[in-house]
Chains A and B, each alone.
Chain A
Amino acid sequence: MSDPITQAGTPAPRPGDDKPRPGMSERSIGLLGDRKKARLDELARAGVDQGGVSLVRDAVRRLRRNPVAIVGAVIVGLFVLMAIFAPLIAPHDAVQRFDELTKNLTVDTIPGASGDFPLGSDPLGRDFLSRMIYGARQTLFVGVLATLIGLALGVLIGAIAGAFGGWVDVVLMRLTDVMLALPSLLLAITLVAMASRSSQWTVIFAVAIVSVPIFARLLRGSMLAQRESDHVLAARALGVKERNIVLRHMLPNSLTAVIVQATLTFAVAILDAAALSFLGLGDPDINRAEWGLMLGVDGQRYFEVRPELAYYPALAIIVVALGFTLLGEAMREAIDPKNRR
C-alpha cells in the first residue's frame, strides 16, 4: 500500500479531509522544522506535487480496478474520438442537402434508411448519420466550454472567498446563495432570455453560469478547511507569503474535488443545453449539428412523423451523459479518503 504522506515528508491533505490524522502532524512539523525557510516553499510545493501525484496515482489505481470507471472512461473516450475524427468517420457532409433525399420530403414523410444514407434523412434532406457523427463535435464543444467557463468563474470566486475569508467570504457566499436559490434551468432560461437573440454562445454562457455557485462553494469549503490545517499553519509559521500559501499550498490541494465535479457538470451541461433548445431558446443556426439541438428542435417537431429524429440524438445524449456521470462518480469515490484502503 503506498502511503501518500511518506513520499515527500510533507503532509498531502486531501480535499474534504479537514481533520488531520493523529501522528501525521507531529512528524511533518518536526521534519519541516529542520529545513531552512528559503527551501520551504520549494519543498512544500514539491511535497504537494508529489503528494498530488501519489494521490492521483492512488486514485487511478483504484479506478482501474473499478468496472464502473472503465465503462465511463470507454464511453467518454469513444465520444471524444468520434468528435475529433468526425470528418473522417462521417460518410457525407453534415450540411449538404442531397437531391435524392429532398425529393422525397413531404409534409408528413421524411425518408428513412436507404442505400447511401443508413439513418435516412433529416427534415432538410441532409444525411442524418453524418449529422449525428458531427454532432459529437458540437456537443463536446458546448459541454466542454460551458464546463470550463463555469469552472473558471467558480474557482475564481471560491478561491477569493476561501483565501480571504471574513467579509469577502460572506459577501461572495451570499451571492452564490442567491444564485443557488433559483432553480438551475430557470436561471439559465432567464440568462438566455436576457440576450436579445439567442446564439450558441448565449446557451454556453447560460449553462456555464448555472454551475458557477457549485464550483465556488466546493472550492471555498475545501480551502477554508485547509486554512486551519497543519501544512498551512507550518508554512505560515515559517513566514511564507500569504499569496504563496494560497496559490501554492491551498489551491492545488483543493482542485481535485473541483475537477471531479467538472466531470459531473459536463453531463448536466449537455442536458441543460438540450433543454434550452427544446424550449426554443437554443442556437438558431439551422446548419449546426448538435445533439441537444437536434433532439430539442427537429426531434420534437417531427416526433409524430419520424421519431428516429428524436431517438438517435436522445440515445447519444443519454449514453454520453451516463459515461461522464459514471466516470465522475467513480472518480469521486476514488479520491474520497473514506475509501482509501
Chain B
Amino acid sequence: MSAVGHVPVNEHAHDDHHHEGNFFTKYIFSMDHKVIAKQYLFTALIMGIIGIAMSVFFRMQIAWPAESFKIFEIFLGDWAPGGVMSQDIYLALVTMHGTIMVFFVLTQGLSGTFSNLLIPLQIGARDMASGFMNMLSYWLFFLSCVIMIGSLFVEAGPASAGWTIYPPLSALPQAIGGSGLGMTLWLVSMAIFIASSLLGSLNYIVTVINLRTKGMSMTRLPLTIWALFVTAIIGVVSFPVLLSAALMLIMDRSFGTSFFLSDIFIGGEVLHYQGGSPILFEHLFWFLGHPEVYIVILPAMGIASEILATNARKPIFGYRAMIASILGIAFLSTIVWGHHMFVSGMNPFLGSVFTFTTLLIAIPSAVKAFNWITTIWKGNLQLNPSMLFSIGFVSTFITGGLTGIVLGDSTLDINVHDTYFVVAHFHLVMGISALYGMFAGIYHWFPKMFGRMMNKNLGYVHFWITIIGAYGVFFPMHFVGMAGLPRRYYDNTAFPYFDDLLEINVLITVFAIITALVQLVFLYNFIHSIIAGKKATANPWNSNSLEWTTPVEPIHGNWPGEIPTVYRWPYDYSKTNEQGEYVIAGQDFAPQNVPLQKGEEELNH
C-alpha cells in the first residue's frame, strides 16, 4: 500500500535531470512511463503477497482438515473460530486468491509493468502516447486494488462464488454470505479495473503504432513489444464484454432484472426472476476469461523470448514464426471460450466446434516451444537468474500446456472438468509460467528500473527452490484430479472414498509452504537491491535492444540527446561476417542503433 511512496527514493540523486514539479507530480501522480511501470510493479507485488498467503491458508485446510492453527486465528479472526478455518472463509479465500492472482498480479504485474517500462524504451520513444491517460490508468488500477482489498473486511465476507462468479450463486446473498456487499465491491472493483486496463491498452496500442523511432519497422520490433502489443489488442477486444457481464449482474442483483436468473426457489420462497440464463453469463464471462489467459501468458512469452535470445547469445529462432504464432494464438484465443463450458448444458454441437478451435491453439504453442528450444541449441548460455527463469518458463509451459490437450477435448473434459486436474493444468501453464516470466523480467530489467543489480546468488536460491517447489505442488496434483476429486471442496473427508488422497494433499501443501516462503528471499533481494544493490552498467547483459542505450540514471524523455535511429533487428547476437569474425570486432552483439558494417548483409529474417 505504501510502496508507491517508496518509488522516489532511488531517484533523488538525479533530480536535476527532471523538469519542474514537486514531489507529488514527479513520483505519485507521475506521467513518466518508467515511474508508472514501477508503481504497477510495487502494487502487483503487494497484491501477490496477499494472494499467495491466501493460497497457503487454504492449502493448509486441505492438507490438515479442521485442524486448528494459530495463524488462522490471527489473520482470519472470527472466520476461524478456535483457529479452525470455517467453510465460508475457505470459499472466500479460494475466490479472492483466483481474482487477485489473475487480474491484479499476473495481468497488471506483467502487462502493466512491462508494457509501461518497455514499450517506449524498446521502440525508441520519449514516453507513452498519452502520459495523462497512462497515469489515470494506474490510479484507477490502484483504486480497484483498494476496493478489492477493502472487500476482505466486509462483515458477511468477501466474494465467495469462485473467481468466475457464476450466477445465481454470485447474485443471491441468500445463497452464500459473500454474495452480499462483498460481491458488490468485487463487481465495482472489477469495473474500475476494466476501465483502467482499457485506458492502458489503448495507450500501448497507439504508442506502438505511432511512436516507433526511425528505422524501427514492425519486423524490427523485439518480441517483447510484439507480445505486449497483441496483448493490449486482445484486452481491448475482450475486457468490454466482461464489463457488460458485470453490469448485467449488477442489474440482476440490485435492480431486479432477469438477465441471468430464472425459476429460483431459495430460502423458502420463489423469487420473481423469470427467463434469464446463467449460461449466458458463462458465455460472456469466458469471452473475456479465455483471452485473459493469453493476456497473462503472452507478455511472459515475449519476455522469455527476449531473455532467451540475449542470454543464449543467439538470435531468437524463427522470428517471423514467433510473430505469426503470437498473432495466431491471439486470434484463436477469442474463439475458444466454449471449452470452459463443454458440460454447461450448451448445445453439444457447439462443444465440437470449440474442441476443434481449442486444439488448433496447440499448433502455434508447439511452434513456440520448439523455437525456444532451438534458440538455446548451440548457444553460449549465460545462466543469469533471468535466463534460468526463462528456461523454467519453457519447461512449465510445456508441462502445463500438454495437459490442455486432455481438457480441450470435449470428450475427455467430461470427467476431468472442475477436478484438480484442471487446477494443476492452469496453474502450471498460466500461473507458474506467467510468474516465471514476471520474475525473469524483473531480474533482467531491474538494472533499467533501478540502476542497480539484483544479487545473483539470492536469485539462484530463489529460482531453484521455486522450480522444485512449484513442480512439487502441481505435478502430483494431476493425480488428485485423475482420482476424480472436485476442486473447491472445503473438506474431502465427507465420505471415505477420498481418504487415500490425503497423503498427496499433504505433500502438495508442504511444497506450497516452502515455495511461498522462498519468495521472501526474492522480496529481500528486490528491496535490498533497490537500496544497496551493486551499481549497474549501461548494458549489463550485452543486449541489442534500445532500452540499453539510455543512461543508467533514468531521465525524463529517456535519451539525453537525439532519439536513436534503428538499423537492424534486435537479435544480431553472434553474427559473423564471411571471415567468421563477429561483425563488430570483439563483441558478440550488434545493438539495433549500430549501422550495418562494411560488407555485412542484413538478414532477411
Tell whether A pairs with B: no
Report A's interface with B, CB cutoff 8 A: none
